[in-house]
Amino acid sequence: MVRDALKHGSAYVNGVRLHYVTQGAGPLLILLHGFPEFWYSWRYQIPALAKHFTVVAPDMRGYNESEKPSGVANYHIDRLTGDVGGLIRAFHEERAVIIGHDWGGGVAWSFAANYPHMTEQLVVLNCPHPGTFQKALQENRQQLRRSWYIFYFQIPWLPELGLRLFRRRFIAQAFRGMAVRKEAFPDKELHKYAEALETPGSARAAINYYRAAFRHRLRHGAIHLPQISRPTLLIWGEEDTALGKELTHDMDEYFSDRFEIKYIPKCSHWVQQEQPELVNQHLLEFLLANRE
């Protein structure tokens, strides 16, 4: 039973102030959103998970109501995983269930690999493991074409200017345009995402995630993560036009503990918003079965 209503709060962690929403009681569970979203993308999961967990869904650094530090270096993956660790400590816990989608999934992969002692269980939605994605950008021409926006985002000033000037069109194309179930994104929902992207500094911060990752790869080469030693679930909408289903193949080498995949047909990249009931079912079955 959910013991309280949705609450807003903030915590100063890892040098930034993060806004978050929280609901429920029990073991800590953190939800990490992607681009170009904010905590609201988990609106269907929060009440379902809050029946069993203390759910915390932050606005990632740079998004919506969270602080937006300047400079590309502030969006390096080490800073992003540091935010997650800081949030766990802010709730006076030593570990948490980590769930991430899109960029939040990328942070979740890295956090679970590098901080297994702080990771209870891991769930990622429509985000490939960094090792798989790096290989795909080298060997998979189709995925390279799908990932054109990563290279576009490396241009100074122009991408964020475009997001600011055409944010409503961009949001509509990104969500409703990619979706299989277009009705999952009525105008009132798209308006919330557009509003979040309107907050000063949000567009540049969101793009800086991509710039930081790209520059690190140029300077230091591929990222090699330790094997993930916690139970892991990957949920994948099969009709993701940005990330091919083949990115989920041959992943066993990245895990030393249980790993499973749940595919959701007729569903796009925005899997938890298009098919919330099925996603919630998969989440709860996995999380509750694996609770110690």
Q: What residue type is assigned to position 282 of the chain? A: H
- How many CB atoms lie under 10 A from the CB of residue 89? 14
| Catalytic-residue membership of 102 | yes
Q: Which of 40, 63, 210, 254 is catalytic?
A: 210
Q: In terms of DSSP bridges, do strands 7-13 and 16-23 run parallel, antiparallel, or are they unpaired?
A: antiparallel
Q: Kindly report the number of other CB atoms within 10 A of residue 244's CB atom.
A: 16
Q: Is 224 exposed, middle or buried (0-12, 13-18, 19+ CB in 10 A)?
A: exposed
Annotation says 78 is catalytic: no
- Write out the H or E segment, with its range, that includes residue 88: helix 77-90
Q: How far apart are CA 136 and CA 138, in angstroms?
A: 5
Structure tokens at 111: 């956090």
The rounded distance, in Å, linking the Cα atoms of 180 and 195 is 24
What is the rounded CA–CA span in Å between residue 183 and residue 124?
Answer: 24
Listing DSSP states for 237-284 in one string gives ETT-SSS-GGGGSS-GGGBSS-EEEEEESS--S-HHHHSHHHHHHHHH
Q: Which of 31, 80, 79 is nearest to 54 (CA)?
A: 31
Catalytic hit among 76, 102, 193, 209:
102
Q: Given the residues 52, 129, 269, 282, select the one marked as catalytic.
A: 269
269 flagged as catalytic: yes
* Measured distance between the N- and C-terminal CA atoms of the chain, rounded to whole angstroms: 20
Q: Which residues are catalytic?
A: 102, 210, 269
